[in-house]
Structure 1
């Protein structure tokens, strides 16, 4: 596994991160154990989590596995707060009280006294940004968090947040921004990537396989056991099941045939070469899927393939 610094900070992470959104849900305790072992054996360090994942079951399961295997010192635990379940609905809450309550819950469930990276999961337009960012500052100052970042912020929100924190007495910087980024979603390149570069922040990419589309699984239709066939997820995936995005997948398929690797390998290799990307977060329902994704570490794209993928993805919009 290769490792990178997160932006201009001293935080070092594996450039492929283990996503745990399905832990405690579609990924049970046995599968989660296999995935964690596989990830660590591959040299992975960065584990992305949140108290909302697995309908609240993720972090308790992950904490049990960390304790059982005695691997806390081998992990860079990256948590988030800002989404919460209330009345059967998932809602945003960027208030200081909720964020710090969620942090304390994460620490208890994960069985640790600190998170290596703590991120605001989403901006909350109903709460002053200063209040939300103040929770990050307080968490670092009280020793419960080592580094802080944001997630799903626009470019202008990122700049304002970093500038506000930099002007504080403790000057605690945001080291990372986490956004959806892939060959079928290059929107971050418009504002977020330039902002991150200017502000010295690393980028953590979620859904680097375009909600599963860039695995190639939908080339011949929609498998019955896929997210695109699952109520509640079908619209989420369907956004990328368009003729233009299909052209991107076919370009990946041609490249994968020429290189003798999988379509997913090419998609991940492309992303890992993009400016400011510190890590791509790969989540999987099975250990075999995770193993396939981790094998992208060994793929280097020739310049002409990288350029061809740039061109076809730009044309797809």
Structure 2
């Protein structure tokens, strides 16, 4: 599998990442082990997780697998902190909470450092400087190698990256993990231009449009699908609407013409978008992961890539249009 630099940093990551949001909940340890083996055999290196995935169980599963499946220095572990779904605050990016969360993540992962640590959402109740000082401390302590953010708005991401670059010794922002797929292209308005200007890489989560781009929902909702599950239903149903259906049909037609599966087309398109360092695969089963990894053998013909870009195009207006290369309208 191809390796790419994460932004302008010295950290190289596989251009497909293994997501673990369902580990410890919908994906049991045995299935997780099968997924990790398949991913490693394909040349993957980047494992993405968070302290809230499975209430910490995803990190614990990863830690148990690292003991015997792969040497620690042969994988890139990325985790996140700052979401507090069970507390009185939904987000807590205070210095105290972030550093406590990091220590807990390290214990569950069974390692003394993570390669990439990301702030998992903007916290308006905590001074920005305090949040970023926690990132500086984590890197200086050796517990974190590189820092990033996730699900920040464009101005928040740009402010963080600029603040961290303004003074020697601060930990640079090297990554922004954002939702990005043919069904959700909002980051093209401001995040991707910011990444190009400020030197951070984008990790695209849910590159299959929360599973909808696989085509599995074209004729209903399978009983074993995310859309039919109690705790993930609302997550998947976001894209079960007419606009998404037309995009899915375009992906299915392209896949039929190329003799591949829709998942391969959708992943190949997002993987090769400018500014994307890696697409994060959130497979529920080993079979799903194997199907997704076959996209590594596919490069979309330019005509198909452009057709998919056209059918999924988003409206760009003022002020984004003013600062872009879009033609005057």
TM-score by length of 2: 0.93
2: CA distance, partners of 1:14 / 1:150: 19
Matched, 1:193 2:192: yes
1:95 aligns to 2:82 (yes or no): no
Quote how far apart the aligned CAs of 1:226 are. Answer: 1.2
Q: Distance in 1 between matches of 2:261 and 2:282?
A: 17
SS, match of residue 145 in structure 2: strand
Contact persistence 2:14–2:46 (CA under 8 A): yes
Partners of 1:316 and 1:158 in 2: CA distance: 22
Question: Is residue 81 from structure 1 mapped to residue 85 from structure 2 by the alignment?
Answer: no
What's 1:304 paired with?
303
Q: Structure 2: 5+ residue runs without aligned partners? A: 317-329
1 CA distance for matches of 2:68 and 2:19? Answer: 19
| 1:166 Cα deviation from its structure 2 partner | 1.2
Secondary structure at the counterpart of residue 161 of structure 1: helix
Q: How does 1:7-22 map to 2 (within 5 A)?
A: 7-22=7-22
Distance 1:90 1:158 in 2: 21
Q: Which aligned pairs between 1:278-293 and structure 2 lie closer than 5 A?
A: 278-293=277-292
- Name the structure 2 match of 1:266: 265
Match of 2:327 in 1: none
Q: Residue in 2 aligned with 1:44?
A: 44
Provide the C-alpha distance between the structure 1 equivalents of 2:242 and 2:68, rounded to a whole number of angstroms: 47
The secondary structure found in structure 1 opposite 2:17 is: strand
Counterparts of residues 250-261 of structure 1 (less than 5 Å): 250-261=249-260
1:168-317 matched pairs, under 5 angstroms: 168-314=167-313
Report if aligned partners of 1:247, 1:316 keep a CA contact under 8 Å in 2: no
Q: Report the Cα offset of residue 61 of structure 1.
A: 1.3
Contact 1:245 1:316 in 2 (8 A): no
**1:84-140 per-position Cα deviation (integer Å, ceiling 9, x unaligned):** 3435x8821101011001111111111111111111011111111111111111111
TM value normalised by structure 1: 0.96
* Cα deviation, residue 236, structure 1: 2.2
- The alignment partner of 2:248 has SS state of helix
SS state at 2:313 partner:
helix
1:95–1:141 CA distance, 2 compared to 1 (3 A): same
Is the CA contact 1:79–1:119 (under 8 Å) kept in the aligned structure 2? yes
Instruction: Encode CA deviations 1:176-209: one digit per residue, 9 max, x unaligned.
Output: 1000000000000001111111001100000000
Partner residue, 1:143: 142
Per-residue CA deviations over 1:125-179 (Å, capped at 9, x if unaligned) read 1111111111111111111111111000111111111111112330421101000
The match for 1:28 is 28
Structure 1 stretches lacking a partner, 5+ long: none
Q: 1:56 offset after TM fit, Å?
A: 2.0
Match of 1:67 in 2: 67
The one-character-per-residue Cα deviations of 1:273-292 (angstroms, maximum 9, x if unpaired) are 11100000001111000011
